[in-house]
Chain A
Amino acid sequence: MEFHFPLLTLLTFFPVVGVLVILFLKSEQKNAIRWVALTTALITFGISLWAFSLFRSANPDLQLAEKYNWIRVAGWNIYYYLAVDGLSVLLVLLTTLLSAIAILCTWTAVEDRVKDFMIFSLLLEVGMNGVFLAQDLFLFYIFWEFSLVPMYFLIGIWGGPRRVYAAVKFFLYTMAGSILMLVAILYLAIQTNTFSVPDMLSVLPGLYAAGTISAGAQMLLFVAFAAAFAIKVPMWPLHSWLPDAHVEAPTAGSVILAGVLLKMGTYGFLRFNIPLFPNAAIQAAPWIAALGTIGIIYGAAVSYAQQDIKKLVAYSSVSHLGFVMLGLFALNPEGVAGAIIQMVNHGISTGALFLLLGMIYERTHTRDINVYGGLWKIMPVYGSIMMIASFSSMGLPGLNGFIGEFTILLGAFGSKAISNPWFAGISAIGVIMAAIYILYLFQKMFLGPAGEVTHHHELKDLNWREIVTMIPLVVLMFWIGLYPAPFFNILAPAVEKLLSALPL
């Protein structure tokens, strides 16, 4: 393989440079630390844009690949293998963008141990980028587990009152699922003699055909992988860690958690479960669609009953990710592409909602929905941005959420794999319920008479830094809503390739 500039390695590990610089700064130099972290994150975002400019969307294959032998012992072919394709490129961009935004949003929110916070944030970015870029299961697993650690500390140190509980629960829950995946990875590697996913994909069909890996074993492997990813998504009924983690996490943590970490789960299904275990995926599609549908309705219903604003948005994630799962296992281009778009959308919209809730929390230090009210009158800019974010999350046409939801439901409705329009039909009720809980949140906080909280606090409208934080997200909401063609064009070839390999 000819040598080319290791752009993806640079992209993945560039935040480490920032970490090193920060290590040489004193803890008291808070602003310097913030600027270094922000600059690093922005440069990383720049690198991801650079990589994107070299990315050819018409090409459905892995691109910008870097494949080096890493560990070769006793037939274990472990590679250092980074590459990007249409399935992951948007998620990488989302990761680098949200990481920069998350750092910007903690400018004043985190005053305590800024140095550690920024180091963990940057390390988290390394882990997340690695997850989306790794094409070797061993490498993927390392990044997958590695990304847990900084998040654990972000929640555990800078979180709310029950932060330690939430952090431990988050860690253990995700860890428990990963163990099963590890076993499955080892089994696969032994059978195929490689850890590289593309290599596996060329070997596996033969093994399935020859019966070396029986249909039952394939299903077991599917379930083992699914266990790890389903917890991360989180799919109903494995969502119990999510509200705790979201409620306790600091704003930046919630943004990254909702925006990127959850996508790692759905991405795992897309990247590994569907292509590696095609027959099992088709067999499991109706079941996963059922769980997705339950998640949509259940998440929406539960979300409506919350009194805690962050918890409300956390449960809404369960509902939104249900849509993603439904779309993925529609196993047709509309559904899968819609699901990927919806992953991005959820990162943008829910990320924006968490950012906005964080901004008001910083001013009032309460998450009780009942003490708010009439904020739109007091903070018009804040109210307007919140309105856009809310309606984007609800799926108003013209904003991004609608594009994802519509294509997913359309795909699921006519899906051969799910082979039952009822799932999509019932899920469409989730669209009504989304309106109910989002409007409940928006009304209780922004409309109506001025709430109790306004008597105790002098509430100032957003400052420039906060507005700058929101602008890229708002622009993306309109962009994806009004002109999503470029995004779909990036996805389409890779999605078509993925699905053409399925025996449907």
Chain B
Amino acid sequence: MHLSEITSSGFFFLAPWLVFAPLAGLLINMIFANRFKFSENLIGGIASAASGVAFIVSILLTYSLSLQHGEAARWRLAEWFSIGSLSLDWTFRMDTLSTTMMLVVSGVGTLIHIYAIGYMREDVRFKHEEGRFARFFIFLNLFLASMLVLVSGDSYLMLFVGWEGVGFCSFLLIGFWFEMDTLGRSSWANSNAAKKAFIANRVGDFGFLIASFLIFWNLGQSLQFDQVFEAAKNAPPGVIVAITLFLLLGVAGKSAQIPLYIWLPDAMAGPTPVSALMHAATMVTAGVYLVTRSAPFYNLVPDAQYIVAMVGAITALFAATIAVGQYDIKKVLAYSTISQLGFMVAAVGMGAYVAGFFHLIAHAFFKALLFLSAGSIILGIERGHHHAEHAEHADKSKSKKGKKEEHGHAEHGEEAFDPGDMRNMGGMRKTMPVTFWMYLIGALALSGIFPFAGFWSKDEILLDAKLHYPAAYWLLTIAAFFTAFYMGRQIWMVFFGEARTAPAKHAQESPKVMTLPLVALAILSVGGGALNFPFEGFHNLGHWLEHTLGEVESMPLNLQVAGVSTLLALIAIGISWLIYGRKPLQNGEPDPLKKALGFIYTGMENKWFVDEGYAALVIKPFDKLSQFLADVVDWRFWHDFVHERLIAGTYNWISAIALDKYSDKQGIDAFANGLATVSQRLSAGMRKIQNGFVRSYALSILLGVVLILSYLIFK
């Protein structure tokens, strides 16, 4: 059945280039960049071009798809392997769902590639590691390739290749500055964060694996989407529930939901473009994509849907509360990302796939915008920091020498300056105006203020929640309130008031290569809502995705839901102004919320001690267990005691004591020794004949011959 579906019309033959283009980019950079000393612009240009080609391919694929009215198309590149009943191909799948993801991934990806040229140029200089510039773009291209495999795969296993591939790239990129912490001090922190991310993802992948085994053996011995969805219709519901819940574990790992979200905040150790691309816009949404892709499963089992929705909703609220207590500009955004992912997961859990996807796209725009702006701020402050240090050193020495000392200072400094700490900022709207406006647009979109993209997408989710799961609706609404609050807090703390430190005062605006992608994303964040306006005749995304997801209910704007959420957001912003805006924070002053909320704020500040809980309940016991197994069970008991003492020892005892001493020395030995003594004495006598003179031997031979001959003759 599915072979006939493989199409040869349109631009579908280009599908493999989604993956090949970034791979080509990374190969070029990997082989030639350092050998021929490519300039940084060239390296970044190649990588961005590769990403751009993928974007163009995505557009062409989408165009071809629209020509055939959203009818899914598949393009088989090659056989992968087949054994027994398992048969897999490298087949790309183009349907409305996957092309939408392709467009988002490669489109936002390209913008971030361009931005990264400017960002990394300065980042590698601040860290005195210019040689690592090319490596960054190699990893970034590899990520893009993996992500596109993920969204374009036609079977669960091909999806899984991309799924783990992006996890691997995430490991590489979080640990990009693997020998330091986020402040550039020599430390294990960044590499720990990378490791944590990968392992948390692997826990999710475990769920994915089990789910795929269940799918294979219970749903017609296939992993290809159409076939298993067809088979699922007649499968026992228990199996489907198991599949969906194991998939949910995978989703929780990749999309940072409770209980596996803990890796995402730490992932901010990666360079900011990475945080924007992977840990906000694309990679972490893979879980949402997975649930949407598996919609035919989830639709069959409402119980599982309910669990998914509640996991999403609880995560949304939980993460939002933590975001309120963070000081690091990127950490706030990270928890915000978790929270927004919670919104998406809740939406797709409720069966509101279009709403979830709408939010996914809108979020990709404005969260990438926020992260990139945050990166711009951090670099701006870093520039200010260096500027201030230069000024200090200017009297004593030439700038070159000053730079050197400052390098030493950065490494051994008593207290490294944290350019990402919001307490070190303030008044940035004057020093970095472009970034300020971009950030403001992103923040308003995230807070769900009319008419930005976030308003439309979030309200669609809330409306669906209200209709299906009231509990989720309230959780999400409160989360939305917190969202607006922490974004307001951030805006006031970062951009308003007076600069609290010298670097913030001397901060400089970023170059065009960084600000232009920001503008592009800002435009998308403003206008993104148009993708799926909740008015008759405007449900464009909904109708587009209908080709893949089946009938989708498209709901009109509900003024009550929209009103409540907008009102709450405005109230939250107002409160944040009262606390942070009206009387700006002074340098060294504690957060005013701390006094007001007491221990609750301590909890928020410390992420509700979840990391500590994991350390005590999971990590430490595992360490202890493996230590115990290795040291006590395997080595001391099994290796030393059983093998050395028991087996080898007993053998030695038997051979040395029992046999050697008694049976051997006094029995067999005595007899053998007696024989030896006799022959020894005998030979002592004989040996005198052996005098060593050849001629005397010859004489004895002659005598012997004469004797024998005489006997023969005279007998």
Contact = CB atoms under 8 A, between A and B. Distances in A.
Chains A and B touch each other in the complex, with CB atoms below 8 Å apart:
yes
Interface of A: 169, 237, 240, 243-244, 298, 301-306, 315, 332-334, 337-338, 374, 376-377, 391, 396-398, 402-403, 406-407, 409-411, 413-414, 421, 424-425, 428-429, 431-432, 435-436, 439-440, 443, 446-450, 483-485, 487-488, 491-492, 495
Interface of A is mostly: helix
Contacts of B479: none
Name, among B83, B86, B188, B623, the residue most crowded by chain A CB atoms within 10 Å (CB to CB).
B83
A312 to B, nearest CB: 10
Contact of A447 (B85, B194, B623): B194
Contact of A488 (B83, B161, B198, B210): B83
A448 B188 contact: yes
B83 A447 contact: no
Nearest to A405: B209
Contact of B202 (A338, A431, A488): A431
Shortest 3 CB-CB contacts between residues of A and residues of B:
A333-B84, A305-B630, A447-B191
13 contacts: A377-B178, A391-B168, A396-B164, A397-B165, A432-B205, A443-B194, A447-B194, A448-B178, A448-B191, A485-B78, A488-B81, A488-B83, A495-B83
A410 B86 contact: yes
B81 A398 contact: no
B37 interface: no
Contact of B81 (A306, A403, A449, A450): A403
Contact of B83 (A376, A407, A439): A407
Given A443-B195, A485-B82, 7 more contacts: A305-B630, A333-B85, A398-B161, A413-B213, A428-B209, A428-B213, A432-B205
B199 interface: yes
Contacts of A411: 84
Interface of B: 78-86, 157, 160-161, 163-165, 168, 171, 175, 178-180, 186-188, 190-192, 194-195, 198-199, 202-203, 205-206, 209-210, 212-214, 216-217, 622-623, 625-627, 629-631, 634, 638-639, 642-643
Contact of A302 (B157, B195, B634): B634
B629 A302 contact: yes
Nearest to A312: B630
Contacts of A396: 164-165, 168
Contacts of B180: 449
Given A397-B161, A398-B165, A485-B80, A301 B206 contact: no
A439 B199 contact: yes
A151 B160 CA distance: 41
A492 B80 CA distance: 14
B202 A435 contact: yes
Pick the most buried of A303, A410, A446: most chain B CB atoms within 10 A of its CB. A410
A89 to B, nearest CB: 16
A428 B160 CA distance: 15
A432 B202 contact: yes
A493 to B, nearest CB: 11
A305 B206 contact: no
Contacts of B164: 396-398, 402
A414 B213 contact: yes
A492 B212 CA distance: 22
A444 to B, nearest CB: 9
A332 B221 CA distance: 13
B206 A428 contact: yes
Contact of B217 (A301, A397, A414, A485): A414
A480 to B, nearest CB: 9
Contact of A413 (B161, B217, B623): B217
A492 B83 CA distance: 6
A82 to B, nearest CB: 27
Contacts of A488: 81-83
B213 A306 contact: no
Contacts of B83: 333-334, 337-338, 407, 488, 491-492, 495
Contacts of B194: 443, 447
Given A240-B639, A431-B209, A443-B191, A298 B216 contact: no
A406 B157 contact: yes
A396 B178 CA distance: 21
A447 B160 contact: no
A39 to B, nearest CB: 30
B213 A409 contact: yes
A414 B216 CA distance: 9
B213 A301 contact: no
A436 B199 contact: yes
Nearest to A176: B647
A102 to B, nearest CB: 27
Contacts of A407: 83, 86
Contacts of A334: 83-86
Given A334-B86, A398-B165, A483-B80, A435 B199 contact: yes
A357 to B, nearest CB: 18
Contacts of B198: 435, 439
A484 B81 contact: yes
B416 to A, nearest CB: 14
Contacts of B209: 406, 409, 428, 431
Contacts of B634: 298, 302
A407 B223 CA distance: 13
B151 to A, nearest CB: 15
Residue with the greatest number of chain A CB neighbours at <10 A, chosen from B194, B214, B634: B634
A431 B208 CA distance: 12
B175 A447 contact: yes
A30 to B, nearest CB: 34
Contacts of B191: 443, 447-448
Contacts of A447: 175, 178-179, 188, 190-191, 194
A485 B76 CA distance: 15
A429 B206 contact: yes
B188 A449 contact: yes
Contacts of B623: 304-305
A388 to B, nearest CB: 11
Contacts of B203: 432
A488 B88 CA distance: 12
Contacts of A439: 171, 195, 198-199
Contact of A450 (B78, B160, B179): B179
Contacts of A305: 623, 626-627, 629-631
A465 B597 CA distance: 65
B247 to A, nearest CB: 14
Contact of B178 (A301, A376, A397, A485): A376
Contacts of A301: 622, 625-626, 629-630
A429 B205 CA distance: 10
A500 to B, nearest CB: 12
Nearest to B186: A449
Contacts of B81: 403, 484-485, 487-488
B29 to A, nearest CB: 13
A143 B631 CA distance: 36
A449 B178 CA distance: 8
Contact of B216 (A376, A410, A483): A410
A431 B206 CA distance: 7
B446 to A, nearest CB: 33
A403 B81 CA distance: 9
A427 B627 CA distance: 20
Nearest to B209: A428
Name the residue in A243, A332, A398 with the highest tally of chain B Cβ atoms < 10 Å from its Cβ: A398
Most buried by A among B206, B622, B642: B206
Contact of A397 (B79, B86, B160): B160
Nearest to A243: B639
Most buried by A among B81, B180, B190: B81
Contacts of A443: 188, 191-192, 194-195
A495 B163 CA distance: 31
A377 B643 CA distance: 42
Contacts of B643: 169, 240
Contact of A306 (B163, B168, B630): B630
Given A338-B83, A428-B206, A428-B210, A302 B626 contact: yes
